Amino acid sequence: MKKILLCILPIALWACGNNTETTKTTTETAAPIVDSLRLDGETHLKNLRQLTFGGDNAEAYFSFDNSHLVFQATNPKWGVECDQIYYMPIEGYTGNQPLLVSTGKGRTTCSYFMKGDNSIVYASTHLGDEACPESPRLVGGKYVWPVYETFDIFVADLKGNIIQQLTDSPGYDAEATVSPDGSMIVFTSTRSGDLELYTMNADGTNVKQVTDGLGYDGGAFFSPDGKQLIFRASRPKTDEEVKTYKEFLAQGLVQPTNLELFICNIDGSDLRQITNLGGANWAPFMHPSGEKVVFSTNHHTESGRQFNIFSINIDGTGLEQITFDSVFDAFPMFSSDGKHLVFASNRNNGGTRDTNIFLADWED
């Protein structure tokens, strides 16, 4: 979940963006149902349609009733120089741009609908500085993500009014997602001195630490029954890896180049690693059956610059490639009924760096 914040990754992978022409007319944003966007081998995807048209759009997640999507975007055409939060119907937005539901200040990430679909949760740096923070990508020749200590988690209504601040601890608090029953939130925080997972009630109370292993734990989602968490994690092992990880974290940076997928119970028990693929494996989301996970990975390419969506059983078996784009597919999420898959992709962008949101009918 930041746009792995959770690719060179053409977008800021966080799990929990970039830019070009995006202004479209009502007719142009009507997202026609065409399979010309589907690539050879993408047999699980039908009626693939494009919902955004330019800029850097990612991390689109369904509302509880599956009728809307909330997502983050950077688009100078909209007067947005770094990620802000928007929402739109699953048919796509009309007019020149979708509805802005963040403040338009600072940098935001990792939005998600709250139960009832009348508000959204997201992280923002605007209290620390209303300007866009710098976003380093290469430090000492190594690809990094910034971990902004000014990120805190907020709840806003669909008109963009902040109605609650959920975190105020020093350091990074972001990557929040909501449990299927709406009662809990999982997020990533540096409050322990490391990047760990935490849960809290939907009102911000009863904060509990979930993970405690050295490394970056992030981009977590609840299982369909709300009893488990699926997430990405780095686990530095050698003395040099540990040293590098700690030095970068002290600078507010992480390397997202070696990540694997883990599952645990919501209290952190029964922690187990389900991938051992090498490279960056991230943006996991469980199928409504609870039996398999879709995620983004570059493990299958020598360059490490191509990301596709794969699926795997929760016991680590049955790895299958789902998308076959030549550059970047990520941030997959199922609708709660399993009928649709939404994801971000560099396909159909005219050779630009634009990343757009796509919606497909899903076939098991």
Q: Does 21 fall in a domain?
A: no
Q: Does 1 fall in a domain?
A: no
Long-range contacts of 23-26 (CB under 8 A, 24+ apart): 23/54, 23/77, 23/96, 23/97, 24/53, 24/54, 24/96, 26/94, 26/95
Mean pLDDT of 13-39: 51
Q: Does 245 fall in a domain?
A: yes
pLDDT of 5 reads 41
Q: Does 217 fall in a domain?
A: yes
Q: Does 253 fall in a domain?
A: yes
pLDDT of residue 24 exceeding 50: no
pLDDT of residue 325 exceeding 80: yes
pLDDT of 21 reads 33
Mean pLDDT of 72-99: 95
Mean pLDDT of 131-144: 92
Q: Does 16 fall in a domain?
A: no
pLDDT of 20 reads 30
pLDDT of residue 7 exceeding 70: no
Mean pLDDT of 89-114: 97
pLDDT of 294 reads 98
Lay out the sheet containing 217-222: strands in order across: 217-222, 228-233, 260-265, 272-273
pLDDT of 181 reads 98
Looking up tokens 């809307």 gives 68
pLDDT of 4 reads 43
Q: Does 244 fall in a domain?
A: yes
Owning domain of residue 329: 28-362
Mind listing the pLDDT tens digit for each residue in 163-183? 999 999 999 999 999 999 999
**Could you tell me the CATH number of the domain that includes residue 73?**
2.120.10.30
pLDDT band at 35, cuts 50/70/90? confident
pLDDT of residue 123 exceeding 90: yes
138: Cβ–Cβ under 8 A, 6 or more apart, which residues? 144
pLDDT of 34 reads 62
| Domain count within the chain | 1
pLDDT of residue 19 exceeding 70: no
Q: Does 349 fall in a domain?
A: yes
pLDDT of residue 13 exceeding 50: no
pTM as predicted: 0.92
pLDDT of residue 273 exceeding 80: yes
